[in-house]
Amino acid sequence: MYFPPLRIGKLQADKPIIQGGMAIRISRASLASAVANCGGVGVIAASGLSKQELRDQIQEARDNITNPGGLLAINIMFAATEFDMIVNTAIEEKIDFIIFGAGFSKDIFTLGKQAGVPIVPIVSSPKLAKIAAKLGASAIIVESGEAGGHLGTCKSIKQLIPEIKDAVNEYNIPIIAAGGVTSGSDIIDMLLIGANGVQMATRFLLSEECDVHDNFKHLLLKAKEKDIVMIDSSVGMPARAILTDFSRKIIDGKIDRPKECGKCLKHCTGTFCIIKALEAARKGDLENGLFFAGQNVKKYNDIISVKKIFERLEQQAKSRLALL
Protein backbone atom coordinates (compact mmCIF):
# COMPACT_ATOMS: atom_id res chain seq x y z
CA MET A 1 0.00 0.00 0.00
CA TYR A 2 1.66 3.21 -1.19
CA PHE A 3 -1.22 5.57 -0.47
CA PRO A 4 -2.58 6.53 2.94
CA PRO A 5 -6.34 6.39 3.57
CA LEU A 6 -8.48 9.51 3.30
CA ARG A 7 -10.81 10.54 6.14
CA ILE A 8 -13.89 12.65 5.42
CA GLY A 9 -15.68 13.38 8.68
CA LYS A 10 -16.17 10.01 10.37
CA LEU A 11 -15.79 8.13 7.08
CA GLN A 12 -12.63 6.68 5.58
CA ALA A 13 -11.70 5.61 2.06
CA ASP A 14 -8.85 3.14 1.63
CA LYS A 15 -7.12 5.39 -0.89
CA PRO A 16 -6.90 9.19 -1.06
CA ILE A 17 -8.30 9.42 -4.57
CA ILE A 18 -11.57 11.17 -5.40
CA GLN A 19 -13.01 10.72 -8.89
CA GLY A 20 -14.05 14.12 -10.18
CA GLY A 21 -17.75 14.82 -10.64
CA MET A 22 -18.20 15.40 -14.36
CA ALA A 23 -21.54 16.66 -15.66
CA ILE A 24 -23.74 16.25 -17.54
CA ARG A 25 -24.23 12.48 -16.95
CA ILE A 26 -20.54 11.67 -17.40
CA SER A 27 -19.88 10.65 -13.80
CA ARG A 28 -22.63 8.09 -13.35
CA ALA A 29 -23.22 5.02 -11.21
CA SER A 30 -21.09 2.69 -13.34
CA LEU A 31 -17.98 4.84 -12.98
CA ALA A 32 -18.57 5.89 -9.37
CA SER A 33 -19.10 2.32 -8.16
CA ALA A 34 -15.98 1.10 -9.99
CA VAL A 35 -13.88 3.76 -8.26
CA ALA A 36 -15.40 2.97 -4.86
CA ASN A 37 -14.72 -0.74 -5.39
CA CYS A 38 -11.04 0.11 -5.85
CA GLY A 39 -11.02 1.88 -2.48
CA GLY A 40 -11.40 5.44 -3.73
CA VAL A 41 -14.27 7.92 -3.63
CA GLY A 42 -16.73 7.47 -6.48
CA VAL A 43 -18.70 10.59 -7.40
CA ILE A 44 -22.01 10.96 -9.21
CA ALA A 45 -22.33 14.30 -10.99
CA ALA A 46 -25.79 15.49 -9.95
CA SER A 47 -26.09 18.73 -11.94
CA GLY A 48 -28.81 18.41 -14.57
CA LEU A 49 -30.39 15.29 -13.07
CA SER A 50 -34.01 14.99 -12.05
CA LYS A 51 -34.90 13.95 -8.52
CA GLN A 52 -35.79 10.42 -9.60
CA GLU A 53 -32.75 10.06 -11.83
CA LEU A 54 -30.49 11.02 -8.95
CA ARG A 55 -32.23 8.53 -6.66
CA ASP A 56 -31.83 5.81 -9.29
CA GLN A 57 -28.14 6.60 -9.84
CA ILE A 58 -27.32 6.54 -6.12
CA GLN A 59 -29.19 3.27 -5.66
CA GLU A 60 -27.53 1.67 -8.70
CA ALA A 61 -24.10 2.68 -7.45
CA ARG A 62 -24.88 1.37 -3.96
CA ASP A 63 -26.02 -1.95 -5.40
CA ASN A 64 -22.74 -2.30 -7.30
CA ILE A 65 -20.34 -1.29 -4.51
CA THR A 66 -18.95 -4.35 -2.76
CA ASN A 67 -15.85 -2.84 -1.15
CA PRO A 68 -16.49 -1.24 2.27
CA GLY A 69 -13.22 0.63 1.80
CA GLY A 70 -14.73 2.90 -0.85
CA LEU A 71 -17.08 5.86 -0.50
CA LEU A 72 -19.86 7.36 -2.64
CA ALA A 73 -20.46 11.10 -3.02
CA ILE A 74 -22.31 13.49 -5.30
CA ASN A 75 -21.03 16.68 -6.91
CA ILE A 76 -23.43 19.58 -7.52
CA MET A 77 -22.91 23.10 -8.88
CA PHE A 78 -24.22 25.80 -6.55
CA ALA A 79 -25.02 27.70 -9.75
CA ALA A 80 -27.67 25.10 -10.60
CA THR A 81 -31.30 26.13 -10.08
CA GLU A 82 -32.10 22.71 -8.58
CA PHE A 83 -29.23 22.90 -6.05
CA ASP A 84 -31.47 22.62 -2.96
CA MET A 85 -33.51 19.76 -4.40
CA ILE A 86 -30.38 17.81 -5.34
CA VAL A 87 -28.80 18.29 -1.89
CA ASN A 88 -31.95 17.24 -0.05
CA THR A 89 -32.46 14.21 -2.30
CA ALA A 90 -28.88 13.05 -1.79
CA ILE A 91 -29.28 13.38 1.97
CA GLU A 92 -32.51 11.38 1.84
CA GLU A 93 -30.65 8.67 -0.08
CA LYS A 94 -27.96 8.61 2.64
CA ILE A 95 -25.09 9.67 0.39
CA ASP A 96 -21.72 9.44 2.15
CA PHE A 97 -20.92 13.11 1.52
CA ILE A 98 -21.68 16.05 -0.73
CA ILE A 99 -19.21 17.99 -2.88
CA PHE A 100 -20.23 21.35 -4.29
CA GLY A 101 -18.60 24.09 -6.36
CA ALA A 102 -19.26 26.74 -9.04
CA GLY A 103 -20.40 29.17 -6.37
CA PHE A 104 -20.67 29.07 -2.59
CA SER A 105 -23.46 28.27 -0.16
CA LYS A 106 -23.39 28.92 3.59
CA ASP A 107 -26.70 27.19 4.29
CA ILE A 108 -25.53 23.81 3.06
CA PHE A 109 -23.18 23.41 6.01
CA THR A 110 -26.04 23.76 8.50
CA LEU A 111 -28.10 21.30 6.50
CA GLY A 112 -25.24 18.82 6.37
CA LYS A 113 -24.61 19.09 10.09
CA GLN A 114 -28.29 18.51 10.90
CA ALA A 115 -28.37 15.42 8.66
CA GLY A 116 -24.97 14.11 9.68
CA VAL A 117 -23.70 14.31 6.10
CA PRO A 118 -20.20 15.76 5.54
CA ILE A 119 -20.02 18.76 3.22
CA VAL A 120 -16.95 19.26 1.03
CA PRO A 121 -16.69 22.51 -0.94
CA ILE A 122 -14.49 23.11 -3.98
CA VAL A 123 -12.57 26.36 -3.51
CA SER A 124 -9.71 28.17 -5.19
CA SER A 125 -8.61 30.72 -2.59
CA PRO A 126 -7.34 30.70 1.00
CA LYS A 127 -10.03 33.21 2.00
CA LEU A 128 -12.93 31.03 0.84
CA ALA A 129 -11.28 27.91 2.23
CA LYS A 130 -11.10 29.51 5.67
CA ILE A 131 -14.73 30.61 5.51
CA ALA A 132 -15.77 27.07 4.55
CA ALA A 133 -13.70 25.53 7.33
CA LYS A 134 -15.21 27.91 9.88
CA LEU A 135 -18.72 27.01 8.69
CA GLY A 136 -18.02 23.32 9.23
CA ALA A 137 -16.57 21.85 6.03
CA SER A 138 -15.39 18.27 6.59
CA ALA A 139 -12.68 18.67 3.94
CA ILE A 140 -11.62 21.18 1.31
CA ILE A 141 -11.10 20.39 -2.36
CA VAL A 142 -8.57 22.86 -3.72
CA GLU A 143 -9.13 23.34 -7.45
CA SER A 144 -6.30 24.97 -9.36
CA GLY A 145 -5.89 26.62 -12.72
CA GLU A 146 -4.79 23.31 -14.27
CA ALA A 147 -8.21 21.68 -13.86
CA GLY A 148 -10.78 21.11 -16.58
CA GLY A 149 -14.25 22.58 -16.70
CA HIS A 150 -15.21 25.65 -14.69
CA LEU A 151 -12.31 27.38 -12.95
CA GLY A 152 -12.05 29.88 -10.11
CA THR A 153 -8.35 30.71 -10.41
CA CYS A 154 -5.33 30.63 -12.67
CA LYS A 155 -2.95 29.67 -9.83
CA SER A 156 -1.13 26.34 -9.96
CA ILE A 157 -1.92 23.52 -7.55
CA LYS A 158 1.60 23.59 -6.13
CA GLN A 159 1.08 27.23 -5.20
CA LEU A 160 -2.44 26.82 -3.80
CA ILE A 161 -1.99 23.76 -1.57
CA PRO A 162 0.53 25.34 0.86
CA GLU A 163 -1.46 28.60 0.94
CA ILE A 164 -4.75 26.91 1.73
CA LYS A 165 -3.18 24.40 4.10
CA ASP A 166 -1.86 27.31 6.12
CA ALA A 167 -5.20 29.14 6.00
CA VAL A 168 -7.18 26.22 7.49
CA ASN A 169 -4.48 24.62 9.59
CA GLU A 170 -6.28 25.34 12.89
CA TYR A 171 -9.35 23.36 11.74
CA ASN A 172 -7.42 20.13 11.12
CA ILE A 173 -9.45 19.02 8.07
CA PRO A 174 -8.22 17.21 4.95
CA ILE A 175 -7.06 19.15 1.90
CA ILE A 176 -7.62 17.55 -1.49
CA ALA A 177 -5.63 18.69 -4.53
CA ALA A 178 -7.60 18.99 -7.77
CA GLY A 179 -6.10 20.05 -11.08
CA GLY A 180 -3.08 18.83 -12.98
CA VAL A 181 -2.77 15.49 -11.15
CA THR A 182 -2.33 12.72 -13.73
CA SER A 183 -0.14 10.04 -12.14
CA GLY A 184 0.79 8.24 -8.96
CA SER A 185 3.95 10.30 -8.90
CA ASP A 186 1.86 13.47 -8.91
CA ILE A 187 -0.19 12.11 -6.01
CA ILE A 188 2.92 11.55 -3.93
CA ASP A 189 4.13 15.06 -4.76
CA MET A 190 0.79 16.49 -3.59
CA LEU A 191 1.00 14.57 -0.32
CA LEU A 192 4.54 15.84 0.18
CA ILE A 193 3.45 19.49 -0.02
CA GLY A 194 0.60 19.07 2.43
CA ALA A 195 -2.41 17.60 0.63
CA ASN A 196 -4.24 14.65 2.16
CA GLY A 197 -5.62 13.39 -1.13
CA VAL A 198 -6.29 14.24 -4.76
CA GLN A 199 -9.23 14.58 -7.11
CA MET A 200 -8.83 13.29 -10.68
CA ALA A 201 -11.41 13.75 -13.41
CA THR A 202 -9.96 13.44 -16.92
CA ARG A 203 -8.15 10.20 -16.10
CA PHE A 204 -11.44 8.59 -15.07
CA LEU A 205 -13.30 9.95 -18.08
CA LEU A 206 -10.74 7.98 -20.09
CA SER A 207 -11.80 4.71 -18.47
CA GLU A 208 -13.79 1.77 -19.78
CA GLU A 209 -16.45 2.28 -17.10
CA CYS A 210 -17.16 5.89 -18.04
CA ASP A 211 -20.11 5.59 -20.40
CA VAL A 212 -19.59 8.69 -22.55
CA HIS A 213 -19.46 8.25 -26.33
CA ASP A 214 -16.16 7.05 -27.76
CA ASN A 215 -15.96 10.28 -29.80
CA PHE A 216 -15.45 12.19 -26.53
CA LYS A 217 -12.70 9.87 -25.33
CA HIS A 218 -10.85 9.80 -28.64
CA LEU A 219 -11.07 13.59 -28.96
CA LEU A 220 -9.25 13.87 -25.63
CA LEU A 221 -6.66 11.26 -26.57
CA LYS A 222 -5.83 13.15 -29.78
CA ALA A 223 -5.59 16.55 -28.07
CA LYS A 224 -2.32 18.44 -28.34
CA GLU A 225 -1.31 21.42 -26.25
CA LYS A 226 -2.63 23.82 -28.90
CA ASP A 227 -6.05 22.13 -28.69
CA ILE A 228 -6.62 23.02 -25.02
CA VAL A 229 -8.39 26.38 -24.74
CA MET A 230 -10.18 28.65 -22.30
CA ILE A 231 -13.75 29.79 -22.92
CA ASP A 232 -16.25 32.01 -21.13
CA SER A 233 -18.98 29.67 -19.92
CA SER A 234 -22.60 30.72 -19.71
CA VAL A 235 -22.33 29.83 -16.02
CA GLY A 236 -20.39 33.08 -15.73
CA MET A 237 -16.99 31.49 -15.14
CA PRO A 238 -13.98 30.72 -17.33
CA ALA A 239 -13.66 27.07 -18.31
CA ARG A 240 -11.10 24.82 -19.96
CA ALA A 241 -12.18 22.74 -22.93
CA ILE A 242 -10.95 21.11 -26.12
CA LEU A 243 -10.86 23.28 -29.23
CA THR A 244 -13.69 22.33 -31.59
CA ASP A 245 -15.85 24.31 -33.99
CA PHE A 246 -18.30 24.88 -31.12
CA SER A 247 -15.73 26.16 -28.62
CA ARG A 248 -14.14 28.29 -31.36
CA LYS A 249 -17.51 29.99 -31.93
CA ILE A 250 -17.73 30.74 -28.21
CA ILE A 251 -14.23 32.23 -28.20
CA ASP A 252 -14.93 34.30 -31.33
CA GLY A 253 -18.31 35.48 -30.03
CA LYS A 254 -20.11 33.88 -32.97
CA ILE A 255 -22.15 31.31 -31.08
CA ASP A 256 -25.90 31.36 -31.69
CA ARG A 257 -27.81 32.33 -28.56
CA PRO A 258 -30.47 29.78 -27.53
CA LYS A 259 -34.04 30.55 -28.55
CA GLU A 260 -35.45 28.75 -25.50
CA CYS A 261 -34.21 28.51 -21.91
CA GLY A 262 -34.90 25.78 -19.35
CA LYS A 263 -33.71 28.00 -16.47
CA CYS A 264 -31.22 25.37 -15.32
CA LEU A 265 -28.92 28.04 -13.82
CA LYS A 266 -29.62 30.65 -11.16
CA HIS A 267 -27.71 33.13 -13.30
CA CYS A 268 -26.85 32.59 -16.97
CA THR A 269 -25.13 34.84 -19.48
CA GLY A 270 -27.43 33.46 -22.17
CA THR A 271 -24.61 33.06 -24.68
CA PHE A 272 -25.25 29.33 -25.10
CA CYS A 273 -27.01 26.51 -23.26
CA ILE A 274 -24.41 24.80 -21.08
CA ILE A 275 -26.70 21.84 -20.32
CA LYS A 276 -27.32 21.09 -24.01
CA ALA A 277 -23.65 21.58 -24.91
CA LEU A 278 -22.40 19.21 -22.23
CA GLU A 279 -25.09 16.63 -22.98
CA ALA A 280 -24.15 16.80 -26.66
CA ALA A 281 -20.52 16.15 -25.69
CA ARG A 282 -21.53 13.09 -23.67
CA LYS A 283 -23.33 11.74 -26.73
CA GLY A 284 -20.26 12.33 -28.91
CA ASP A 285 -21.70 15.19 -30.97
CA LEU A 286 -18.49 16.78 -32.24
CA GLU A 287 -20.36 19.67 -33.87
CA ASN A 288 -22.51 20.82 -30.95
CA GLY A 289 -20.74 19.46 -27.87
CA LEU A 290 -18.57 21.29 -25.36
CA PHE A 291 -15.78 18.95 -24.29
CA PHE A 292 -14.20 19.82 -20.95
CA ALA A 293 -10.72 18.50 -20.14
CA GLY A 294 -7.83 19.23 -17.80
CA GLN A 295 -4.71 21.10 -18.83
CA ASN A 296 -2.63 17.91 -18.79
CA VAL A 297 -4.95 15.78 -20.94
CA LYS A 298 -2.11 15.47 -23.44
CA LYS A 299 -0.32 13.16 -20.98
CA TYR A 300 -2.92 10.44 -21.48
CA ASN A 301 -2.71 7.95 -24.32
CA ASP A 302 -5.07 5.10 -23.47
CA ILE A 303 -8.49 4.02 -22.26
CA ILE A 304 -8.25 1.38 -19.53
CA SER A 305 -10.37 -0.05 -16.74
CA VAL A 306 -10.70 1.75 -13.41
CA LYS A 307 -8.96 -1.21 -11.78
CA LYS A 308 -5.97 -0.80 -14.08
CA ILE A 309 -5.95 2.96 -13.41
CA PHE A 310 -5.56 2.30 -9.70
CA GLU A 311 -2.92 -0.37 -10.29
CA ARG A 312 -0.95 2.02 -12.48
CA LEU A 313 -1.23 4.85 -9.94
CA GLU A 314 0.09 2.51 -7.24
CA GLN A 315 3.05 1.46 -9.41
CA GLN A 316 3.87 5.05 -10.30
CA ALA A 317 3.69 6.01 -6.62
CA LYS A 318 6.04 3.15 -5.75
CA SER A 319 8.57 4.38 -8.32
CA ARG A 320 8.30 7.96 -7.02
CA LEU A 321 8.77 6.91 -3.41
CA ALA A 322 11.87 4.94 -4.35
CA LEU A 323 13.52 8.20 -5.40
CA LEU A 324 12.93 9.94 -2.07
Share of the chain above pLDDT 90, in %: 90
Per-residue pLDDT reduced to its tens digit, 267-280: 888 899 899 999 99
Position 265 scores a pLDDT of: 80
Residues 6+ apart with CB under 8 A from 85: 51
The residue type found at 88 is N
CA angle 75, 96, 16 (to 5 degrees): 80
* pLDDT tens figures, 50-90: 999 999 999 999 999 999 999 999 999 998 889 999 999 99
The CATH code of domain 6-210+304-322 reads: 3.20.20.70
Q: Where are the domains of the chain?
A: 6-210+304-322, 214-298
φ/ψ (deg, to 5) at 143: -100, 125
pLDDT at 287 over 70: yes
Prediction pTM value: 0.95
- pLDDT at residue 41 tops 90: yes
Mean pLDDT of 246-265: 88
Contact 204, 306 (CB under 8 A): yes
What sign does the CA torsion over 198, 291, 310, 121 have? positive
* pLDDT of 144 strictly over 90: yes
